[in-house]
Chain A
Amino acid sequence: MADIVIELQNVSYRYPVSDDYVLKDVSFTIEKGKFTAIIGNNASGKTTLCNAIRGFIPHFYKGDLEGIVRVGGKDTQETQLGQMAEQVGYVFQNPFIQVSGVKDNVFEEVAYGLENLGVPVDEIRLRVEEILKLVNIGHLRDKNPFELSGGQRQRVALASIIVMDPDILVIDEPTSQLDPVGTEQIFDIIRLMKERGKTIVLVEHKMDLIAEYADNLLVMSEGKLVMQGPVREVFGNPEYERYNIQYPHVTEVALQLQKSGMPLAFLPVKDSELAEALNLKGVVACD
């Protein structure tokens, strides 16, 4: 029996003073150690879903929560936010609001969470050093967080969460301000976290990277969970097209070829699979 760490049962939610439900009867489970991507167009409920998982709904945002959210086997309604935060690390969508504002350099910013957890100073130093190296922001250590570019802040925000070593990482569009190289670095870090046994929940629009790294997809549309399953199954399901969400670029190319009468051995979701899917002999994929 797989170890379920996140479980939602018939969850509906509306923000205070709002008549509309932003989550509508959402049910799913996530196994420990899996990398799940939440995709869907903007305002489909992705960020709200993240907030439900980390307990900010209903503890912080209030509003009406129906159904059950269990994280680590515990009902989040009965768990205090402080306890939740030790278990679930959350990286904000907008790096400009994550920075604490109370620390005047990057090293201390990254150390801030550990200070709050009461970790001994020597250990804080070691852990922060390790993470600065991992996230490739060592050269920014003495900079004021407010003087950083959007991309740099996004990396500092991620560092300040993974340094606390939570079991579950909920990451909301971590690469929106990053260049392609920076984006790949972030995905490499997320993969490393997965290899360390962390459970990853990621909101992201970059489907090429999702296809490359994620195990499972949750597809949101207008507050409903409309599709879920392994990445390849979801992108390969004709129903997906209906929601007007992006495909990986290679999948889109393959679908166009299929429409032009070219048979596909299977639907590719990674660039490196295209030649094989098309049965093009004599073509060497350099990937």
Chain B
Amino acid sequence: MTDLVLQNVSFSYPDGTKALEDFTLTVKSGERVAIVGQNGAGKTTAVKLMNGLLKPASGTVEAGEWDTTKYTTAQVSRKVGYVFQNPDDQIFHNDVESEVRFGPKNMKFDSGRVDELTQWAMELCGISGFAEENPYNLPYSERKFVTIASVLAMDSDIVILDEPTAGQDKIGLLTLGRLLDVLEQKGKTVITITHDMEFVTDYFSRIVVMANRKLIADGQAEDIFYNEEVLKASMLKPPAVAQMAGMFHFPPGILSKQQLVAAILKHKAT
């Protein structure tokens, strides 16, 4: 059981740029949370603090009973796996399988478990067919799946995905959705940064909104995407479906295509 607790966390980069102010968030073990907000809102800084890549200037970050300032990033990453936004920051092996295998091997798991985790992670990410390929011969979106697999293979309790939806096609988005469901079944905590609001409403029940280095809202999709104040402050655009529902002046709450279709059919019938 690893809860993630950030309390009143602030952080500035060495050049003095403030990146996070008074950020407080608790993510319970097994929860699935989306973090949304504009570029530069502080999302990546927040998650890098969660896995110990960055240490808070003030406030505390705890992964389970570990205070991240008291452990090295390598230690914290056993509990909190982080998939970088840019896959090329992370890949350094010449073939996909070695890349995925590196993490669990490095964690000194026994060889049977290393094999098992490597195969499982590659399959889950839809990259088993490219095991021998050089990751750099794969398109960006598939390289991203290589990096996701290499973090999943480390079997950490908490997994952080930084913009996994960037550049994904329909098939890639479905693979990501399936992956979230499998991780939930295994009791993993997943925190995902994304700009894809359809993906958020399809797969996440809890949404954290950031704007100007702060957490400004934390709730369910209906609370976020129909809250004018939050939308304005964060410059978020609600999912296309919610915008269409607005054109018909339907009551708030519609977030899926099914809901919109049902509402239109009902409207037409009356």
**Residue ranges of A at the interface with B (Cβ–Cβ < 8 Å):** 40-43, 47, 93-94, 96-97, 147, 149-152, 173, 176-183, 205, 208, 244-246, 249-250, 252-253, 256-257, 260, 262, 271-272, 274-275, 278, 280, 283-287
Contacts and interface: CB of A to CB of B under 8 A. Distances in A.
Contact of A257 (B39, B237, B264): B264
29 contacts: A40-B169, A41-B170, A42-B139, A42-B142, A42-B168, A94-B88, A94-B140, A149-B40, A149-B44, A177-B85, A178-B39, A179-B37, A179-B38, A179-B195, A180-B236, A181-B235, A205-B168, A205-B169, A244-B170, A245-B169, A249-B239, A249-B244, A249-B257, A253-B264, A260-B265, A272-B247, A278-B268, A280-B248, A287-B247
Nearest to A15: B137
Contacts of B44: 149
Interface of B: 15, 37-40, 44, 85-86, 88-89, 139-142, 163, 166-172, 195, 197-198, 235-237, 239-241, 243-244, 246-249, 257-258, 260-261, 264-265, 267-268
A247 to B, nearest CB: 9
Nearest to A206: B196
Contacts, number: 124
Contacts of B169: 40-42, 205, 245-246
Given A151-B39, A179-B37, A283 B248 contact: yes
Contacts of B15: 147
Please report whether the interface of chain B is mostly helix, strand, loop or mixed according to DSSP: helix
Given A262-B268, A271-B243, A253 B170 contact: no
Nearest to B138: A43
A149 B246 contact: no
B142 A250 contact: no
A183 B195 CA distance: 10
Nearest to A177: B166
